Amino acid sequence: MIHIKNALAVMTRADSEVLNNVDVVIKGSAIHEVGRSLTPPPGSDVEVIPGEGLVVTPGLVNTHHHFYQTFTRNIPFAQDAKLFDWLVYLYDVWKHMDADTVWWSTVLATAELLKTGCTTTTDHHYLYPAGINTDIMALQFDAASRTGIRFSPTRGSMSRSKKNGGLPPDSTVQSEKTILDDSERTIKEFHDPGPWAMRKVALAPCSPFSVSEQLMKETASLARRYGVRLHTHLAETKDEEEYCVQTYGRRPLKLMEDCGFIGRDVWFAHGIFFDDEELDVLASTGTSIAHCPSSNMRLGSGICRVRDMLDKGVNVALAVDGSASNDTSDMLGEIRQALLLQRVSLGAGALSAREAWRMATENGTKLLGFEKIGRIEPGWAADLALFDVNTLGYVGALSDPAAALLFSGYNHQASYTIVNGSVVVANGNLVGLDEKEITAKSSEAVNALYARADL
């Protein structure tokens, strides 16, 4: 049992006023009670977390990432390239990844996310280089279990390489039969359909320009046979739109409709270039969007129409995207970016702090198919982030402590992160893992990757 005692503020849900000077009691994997001067049930072994100076929020939910890209941050050529050029260059690095690349990048990315208050994440791993003979999904689930994050990754895929009109090298793609067979195996081996599962699986062809229309259709059919979710990149750039029109004779969303790759069990990453009619389709079908503001700015891709989506009833969540197009895995920082980016084109009232918080919490769990995660209320999952605002950067900002975490401050590190009732970050440090070792071992694996790629 955990007793967060006398917290400065608790944001029980994104659209509620914060509660001041209250306690939160966690029993097992659930929130037990929220209120003033609480006493845990007698006879309990209680871990007390002093709450003075702490703002407690629901754990953040990251809905799109590429963990392996943490190893290729800030590479000079890729700093100023647009998406297609960026991909072509980096594929020639990523094709050299090995099991150490996958395992350590998963540890690194999930550790970074946890330290910025993220408690649930997905990952879109779609490269399967010919030289890796190890089960990539098994590596990822093992690494994520070490850091303690709630993990809902995708079994990604690419089948179209340079020789048949795609962007990646031949050595990074798989046959469609291999993809479908291994996707089914992965679901059977790892997917837990429970509402608070620590392991879920989704299926995720990379994009309309890296797989065939047939694979999209068969992947959608397979996912629905097993009741798992579907994901892909869509409408991220004008180049993609032009490719789909030239190759398929249809815009990206129409292509997805024709493949049956749309609906309440589907989410698209980015979704920048949808027109008004397409937004109506997303709303009517219940299809979700993972908004990636930092990546979209970093690559100069454009601004997602988040305000219009929300007004039409589209479920929009947040994501850091790959660390080679963001250069961090800072989930709290991503909420701030989402808040500010909408205001660039639509004005100061374009997106409120509370709307941004909802996108980063409840909207994310809805997108990923979790239930009763994203609020701090009795009976909901004990996924929480605790931030210390008793610092220089928050002086004068605490008339609204929840909004202060977005508008003010400069250190996005959580003091505590709790996942499924377990403390995984305490006093700003990972629990049970040596951060210096992660840094050293990950750096060794980065250097080995660069040596193989002759960088």
- C-alpha distances (whole Å) from 404 to each of 55, 112, 170, 385 are 10, 21, 48, 15
Domain ranges of the chain: 2-59+380-430, 60-368
Q: Whole-structure pTM over 0.85, yes or no?
A: yes
SS3 category, 201? coil
Instruction: Tell me which CATH homologous superfamily contains domain 60-368.
Output: Metal-dependent hydrolases (3.20.20.140)
Q: Which residue has the tokens 């299926």?
A: 203
Nearest of 155, 135, 152 to residue 144 by alpha carbon: 152
Whether residue 127 contacts residue 175, with contact meaning beta carbons closer than 8 Å, is answered with no
CATH topology of domain 2-59+380-430: Urease, subunit C; domain 1 (2.30.40)
pLDDT tens-place string over residues 131-160: 898 999 999 999 999 999 999 999 999 999
Q: What is the pLDDT of residue 40?
A: 85
> Where does the pLDDT of residue 166 fall: very low under 50, low under 70, confident under 90, or very high at 90 and above?
confident
Tokens of 266: 């589907």
283 contacts: CB under 8 Å, gap ≥ 6: 309, 312, 313, 314
Rounded to the nearest integer, the mean pLDDT of the chain is 97
pLDDT digits (tens, 9 = 90+) for 107-128: 999 999 999 999 999 999 999 9
* Cα(9)–Cα(182) distance, integer angstroms: 46
For residue 44, pLDDT beyond 80: no
In the chain, the N- to C-terminal Cα span, in Å, equals 50
Beta bridge partners of 22: 7
Residues ≥6 apart with Cβ < 8 Å to 3: 23, 24, 25, 26, 38, 40, 46, 47, 48, 49
- Asked if residue 42 has pLDDT above 90, the reply is no
Distance, in Å, from the CA atom of 98 to the CA atom of 101, rounded to the nearest integer, reads: 5
- Residue labelled with tokens 């989930």: 331
Q: pLDDT of 76-111, one tens digit each?
A: 999 999 999 999 999 999 999 999 999 999 999 999
Tokens at residue 326, please? 């963001």
pLDDT given for residue 398 in this prediction: 97
pLDDT band at 74 (very low <50, low <70, confident <90, very high): very high
Q: What's residue 100's pLDDT?
A: 98
Greatest Cα pair distance in the chain = 69
Q: Write out pLDDT tens, residues 411-432.
A: 999 999 999 999 999 999 999 9
